[in-house]
Every structure is written in C-alpha cells, then in structure tokens.
C-alpha cells in the first residue's frame, strides 16, 4: 500500500483580539517493517511524503454568548522534503507558506517535522508531527480515515473566544480520497468546549473549529 501523506500545521497568530491556533495532522498509511539490517536507510513510507501540497482552510471560535463565529480563512502551499533518519526517528521537514483572507493577518511561514518513531527492532512505530515544541500522533480508524483527540492547551482555552472557558477537547478527522489523479485530504476538527455564561451557569458547546483540505497531483 502506498503511504498516504497528510500534513499538519500549528499556527500561533496574535492580531488585536484575534488568535488562531490550528493543527493539521499527518495521515499514516500502512506501516511496513523498516530495513532492520540497514538502520540508516530511509523508509519508503517517509520518502513518499516528499512533495508539494496546496490547500484552503477556515477556523472558527465562539463569541461571548457561545455562538460560533468565523475567525480566519487562508490558502497555503506546503512543501515536504529532506527525508532523514536520526536516532529513533525517520521524518521529513515541512515548510508551509500561508496567505490569509482580507489582509488583516500577515502571511505566515510555519516549519515542522513529521514522520515515524522507530521501534527498537528498527520497524516503523507511531506517526508523529512536531511543531512549535509540541508533538501529535495520528491513529488509523479505517481505510484512508485517520484521527486524533487531544485536550486544548491553556493558551487555546483563552483564545477560543468564549468567556470563562473551563475545558476543551479537539477531535480531528481526516478522510483521504483519490479522484482523477488528485489526492485530497479532507479535514474537520470538532471542538467541545465547557464554559460558564454571564449568570455562572455551566454550558457545553460543540462546533467545527477547523475545516479545509489539502491536495496534490499524483504522477
């Protein structure tokens, strides 16, 4: 099975009262044995990630009343290259150039790493995404369907928009499709927020906080 690239982005943007924190995580394909007798050999699954991907995205938050509002929209071009093996990891370096709708947020360039952790016997282990000092891991749910679920960081809680946020959980789902020579990564992130309204009553709101897609032309 051909390794299916996904990708990830973590953006930290502060523009007046607007903050956007986005994570787009990498899809894992089938995990084959890494070359045990050649520990420095780059796995095919990692080399197959190399390429250029284009996408369009939107992020959403909550207003003071707990209503969903659009926070930002952007297009991007992501390049994955330089596959390497270092100690217990095999990965590529990614660079993502982002242009935001409306011009209020300046263009951004985000760099990171993604690939596999290597097991002690040299086989490929869990898939990881590393950016801004944080590491994320994807789980395969079905054929070409992947996901992860993590608690929102304290910084994200303050920047989701709603006042008096108590906690939040992000659950991201990615479905990969192939049509007419184009590989598409369809991504939605569901966020569940616990917060208190002006009267002190605890409430729970669930909404799509990130939605978009990445595409690349297949050879």
> How confident is the prediction along the chain (219 residues), in pLDDT tens digits per residue?
223 333 333 333 332 222 232 333 334 444 444 444 455 689 998 998 889 999 999 999 988 788 899 999 999 999 999 999 988 899 999 999 999 999 899 999 999 998 988 998 888 888 888 887 788 888 888 988 988 899 987 778 777 776 788 899 999 999 999 999 999 999 999 999 998 888 899 999 999 999 999 999 987
CA 194 to the chain's CA centroid: 23
Contact 148, 128 (CB under 8 A): no
Fold of 10-217: Lipocalin (2.40.128)
Which residue is associated with the tokens 């894992």?
Answer: 28
Which residue is associated with the tokens 């729970």?
Answer: 204
Give the containing element (helix H, strand E) for 154: helix 154-159
What pLDDT, on the 0 to 100 scale, is given for residue 39? 52
Instruction: Please list the residues that pair with 92 across neighbouring strands.
Output: 114
Q: Is the dihedral of CA 34, 35, 37, 40 positive or negative?
A: negative
Burial 34-47 (b: 16+ CB within 10 A, else e): beeeeeeebbebbe
Which residue is associated with the tokens 């089938």?
Answer: 30
Whole-model pTM: value is 0.77
What gap in Å lies between CA 167 and CA 150, rounded to an integer? 11
Domain ranges of the chain: 10-217
Burial class (CB in 10 A: 0-12, 13-18, 19+), 119: middle
What pLDDT, on the 0 to 100 scale, is given for residue 209? 93
Q: What value does the CA radius of gyration of the chain take, rounded to a whole number of Å?
A: 18
């Amino acid at each position: 099975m051909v390794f299916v690239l996904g990708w990830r982005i973590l953006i930290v943007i502060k523009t007046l009262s607007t903050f956007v924190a986005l994570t787009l995580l990498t899809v894992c394909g089938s995990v084959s044995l890494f070359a045990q007798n050649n520990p420095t050999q780059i796995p095919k699954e990692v080399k197959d990630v190399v390429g250029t991907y284009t996408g369009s995205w939107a992020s959403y938050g909550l207003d003071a009343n707990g209503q969903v509002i659009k926070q930002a929209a952007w297009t991007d071009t992501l390049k994955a290259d330089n596959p390497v093996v270092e100690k217990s990891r095999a990965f590529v370096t990614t660079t993502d150039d982002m242009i935001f709708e409306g011009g209020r947020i300046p263009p951004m360039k985000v760099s990171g790493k993604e690939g596999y952790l290597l097991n002690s016997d040299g086989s490929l282990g869990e898939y990881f995404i590393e950016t801004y000092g944080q590491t994320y891991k994807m789980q395969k749910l079905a054929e070409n369907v992947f996901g992860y679920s993590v608690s929102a960081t304290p910084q994200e809680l303050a920047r989701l928009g709603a006042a008096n946020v108590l906690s939040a959980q992000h659950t991201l789902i990615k479905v990969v499709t192939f049509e007419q020579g184009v590989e598409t990564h369809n991504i939605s992130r569901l966020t569940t927020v616990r917060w208190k309204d002006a009267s002190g009553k605890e409430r729970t709101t669930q909404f799509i906080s990130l939605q978009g897609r990445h595409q690349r032309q297949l050879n």
